Each structure stands twice: as C-alpha cells, then as structure tokens.
Chain A
Amino acid sequence: MLENLKIIFIFHLLFAISVFFAGCAGKKTEPKTKLHTPEMMQHASSSKKIKKVPHRILNEPARVFNAKPVITVRVATDSELSSVPGIWQGKEVAGFSVLGVGSLGLGLIAPPLYASALVVGGILLVAMPSSAGAFEGIQRKKIERVLKTVDFSKLTHNAVIDLLGEKKESTQDDPRLTILILVYGFTQKFADIICFSVDAQVDLHFNGEEIYKDFIYIEPYLRSADAPPPHCATVGEFAENQGALAKQTIDDFSVILANIVAHRLPVLSWKKY
C-alpha cells in the first residue's frame, strides 16, 4: 500500500516538474483552445452581413387620394413567384416606370430566401438543422400546423383595413392596392434558431395605371430599410403551447406589414393611432 502511494507520489512529482519546465522553457505558442477571447464569444451569426434594400415612399401632394382604396391581399401563385424580378432571381431589379419619373434599379444582388428553404405555395416551412431528431420533428410539425391553419394574408388584409379603411363597392376610378405575399414562414438563422420571415410585393394602381410598385423584405439577412428585424427564437419556443408564440408572431407581423405599407403610401389617407 505504502509502495503504491510512493509510486503515485513520484509520478505526480515528475509530471508536475515536466509540466513546469515545459511551460517555462518551451517557446510560447498559440494554445489549441483559446480561453474566452471576445471573438470566440461573438454570436455565430453576427459575422454574416445583413443586406438592407432601399425602399420607396409615394409622397406626392398632388397624388393624395380622398377615396379609400380597394384592397387585395393574397399569397402569390407559383407562376407569380417565378416572374418576380430582381433579388429573387439573383439579378439586379429590372427598371420599372414609377409615376413617369423614370426607372429604379435597386442594384442589389442577394441570395433569394425561397431558393434556400422549402416553399409550398408561398408558405415557407421551417428549415431545420440536419441533426434534427425525433423531438425536433414533433416541434416542427406543430409549427407547420400553425402555418397551415393561420391565414396570414387574411390577417394582413384585416390589419390594412384597420389602417386604411376599405371601399366596399368600387368604381373604376378608385385606387387599387394589392399586397402580394411572395413567401412567409419560418427560416433558419443558425443552429435551432429560426425567424419568422416575410417577403411581399406592393402595387398601387390608379385609373388603370401602375403608380407604385415595390417590395418588402423581412428576412434574417435581407431586409427593407424600413423593416424591423424578424422575430427569432428557438424551434422549441415557437412550438411550445401548441405553437402559441408562432401564432402570436404571425399575427404581429401581419400588423407590421400593414404599417409598412401605410407608411410607404402616405398618399392614401390612413387612420392614426
């Protein structure tokens, strides 16, 4: 017993001496695992740059409409999605005539959201990490169920009406506002963090003429300059309580989208809080 203890003691002593000399005599090199440098503590996503897309505001005193607009909000069809220009095709936005002022090229190239995520008829489904197991599968199902049962375009329609009012019986002369939901849903930010994202196209027609057309982007790494950040949380948090947070977020963003539209079109009379 005593012999064993002696061996252990000698071993420890030799080890301690060797470590001490190795530390003192050896040339200082970068350790294999650095301790707590600020760079290590950065969020994995923070190094990825967020692209901000400029937006247009239709703000011409001569164009103030007294009539309430005829409002249409709907999810884009597959053929409409494929014909959306610009960012969605990875090219520059094609110039389009705005109020006869000329063309506007946004000149921004960015990865299209819908190309990197699973889109079904304009609804983005949760992009899960490849390591997702059975538990995450159940959570994903809950979120998918929320996406399928909650009508985002209807919620947005109601929110726009709340702000702008609606013309029930329209005439040819009434301004026509169309909000085309290109894609919406949850997409991965990193690891198991997902964000509610929505891209939409806003058109305003008056007397048969297109007087305004622009896009709204609310994605983790691609945003309109006037858009707030998307709401991000873990898959589990969105799925909890039968997707309560997912439902609430979809509801909140329908109101946010309506407010962005109203702010871009001050020519339409809208209610203030």
Chain B
Amino acid sequence: MEKILKNILILSACFLLTACASSNVWQTNSKLTPRSYNSYPENSRLSTGLLRRLLIMPVQFETLIGDKPFFTHRSWWSHTDSELGYSSDEEVSRRYLETAVDYLANWKGYEIIRLNPTDTAERHTLFTSLEIENIDKDLMIWSEKPADYETPAKNIIRITSKLGSATKADGILMISGVNKLPSDAKVAAVVLSASLLWPILFIDTGISFKAHIFEVNTGKVVWASSGAPSIPLLFEKLENAIPKLMTR
C-alpha cells in the first residue's frame, strides 16, 4: 500500500512539473527580410525581431472535454460557464487576441495589425470573413508540418504575399489554443477510486497555446512556440522587435 502511495505521489509530481513547464520555442537560422522598411543598423543581431510589423490572425481557441467540443457535449459533472470564465470559444478567442495584442505591443515592441472583419477599428475590406477563415485554415494546417517550415508550398507563398501586400506587414502571426477538461471516464475513475487516482486528471488536460510566425516575403515559418499555458509565456522567448526609430 505504502509503495502504491509513493508511486502515486511521484507520478503526481511529474504531472504537475509537466503542467508547469515552459513553452518549446523554435527559431529559424535563415536571414530574415522585412517588408515595411528598407534598412536598419547593419550590426543588428536581431532575427524574428526584424519582422516588427506583425499581422495577427484571429485566435483559434477550443475547449474540449475528452476529445469532444465542451460547449456541445456538456456532461453531468462539467463546469458552469462562470467557473470556466467564458461562455463560448469565440468569446474567449477574442479575449486571448486582445491579450496577445497588448502583450506583444507593450512588452515586445511589435506593431500589431489585425485582420478581423468584426473589428471596426482597423477594418480590412480586402478580405471577407470566409476568405479569412480559409486563409487561417491553410496557414494553420501548414504550421503543423515542422519539416516543411523552410520550404513553403506555392499556395502558402501566395497567401502570405497577398496578406503582406494588403497590410504592409513583415510577418503573419497565428495563435491557437486548447483548454482540455478531464473526460467523463477520467472523472468516473477518480470517483470510483475514492480519489486515489486523482493524478490522472492532469494527464493531457489544461490550457495549452501554440503560435507560429510566417515571414511575409518568403512564406516560411520562422518562429514557433508551443506548450505554454498563457499568452505571455507563449511569447516570453520572442525577441523584442527592432524599434521603429531604428528603421528607415
């Protein structure tokens, strides 16, 4: 019995450590070329930071219970909206978009451009909602192929080039996230084991974000971060942008 308890404690510690781990960050070694300015100090050591004008795509956030969408598959034990802190994935996606814009502008120095037809402040009439949705989908699918980051397909180059021409952005930022809640089976297992199996609640659950930056001029994915439980942690390792007053 003592041995089992010990094992459970060790497992719990491992799960908790995994849950608290910071994000995995990847950055290209290629030399990047901005689009919104012509020159900058030659001795600059910046890489992603050169893409100072970033077009941010709508955040894609989903809440899952097990593998099913939470808001259409509520279960007997599930959280209320007030416990979750939001009542739809669309609502929380918009909130995370605001958090990302605020953090990247105030703490990383990026000039953020939005491409969201519902945002009346900076409306880009060049793209319809459906177009944005399709673009988002194509870029998101491509961002799942790390082996191809440096060799973009023709349609990816076409999309990034079109977005770059329309917005004069240097880079395109994609953010996605998921909030995985424990499935019914896991909750039942914990209840039936008199809570002895509570560590299984931590397996593959919790909030996790991913972000990818595409270089507009080449269509390459030049920076990626994944596994962060919050937006600031997701971008913690991103270089500060080159200050505008250092560009010509």
A residues touching B (Cβ–Cβ < 8 Å)?
A: 11-12, 15-16, 19-20, 23, 28, 30-31, 34-43, 45-46, 50, 226-229, 231-232, 248, 252, 255-256, 259-260, 263, 272-273
Contacts and interface: CB of A to CB of B under 8 A. Distances in A.
B80 A28 contact: yes
Given A35-B84, A263-B245, A42 B191 contact: no
Interface in B13-35: none
Contacts of A23: 77
Contact of A50 (B40, B86, B95, B106): B106
B159 interface: no
Nearest to B107: A229
Interface stretch (B123-131, B141-149, B161-169, B229-237): B229-237
B245 A11 contact: no
B154 interface: no
Interface of B: 39-42, 45, 77, 79-80, 82-86, 92, 95-96, 99, 102-103, 106-109, 179, 181, 191-195, 206-207, 229-233, 240-241, 243, 245-246, 248
B99 A12 contact: no
Contacts of B96: 38
A256 B191 CA distance: 59
A251 B246 CA distance: 15
Contacts of A39: 85
Given A248-B45, A259-B246, A34 B240 contact: no
A221 to B, nearest CB: 10
A11 B108 CA distance: 55
Contacts of B82: 30
B185 to A, nearest CB: 14
A226 B108 contact: no
Given A12-B194, A259-B245, A38 B86 contact: yes
Contacts of B103: 43, 46
4 cross-chain pairs, A with B, having the tightest CB-CB distances, nearest first: A37-B85, A43-B232, A41-B230, A228-B243
B107 to A, nearest CB: 5
B211 to A, nearest CB: 14
B84 A20 contact: no
A43 B106 contact: no
B194 A229 contact: no
A252 B48 CA distance: 16
Contacts of B85: 34, 37-40
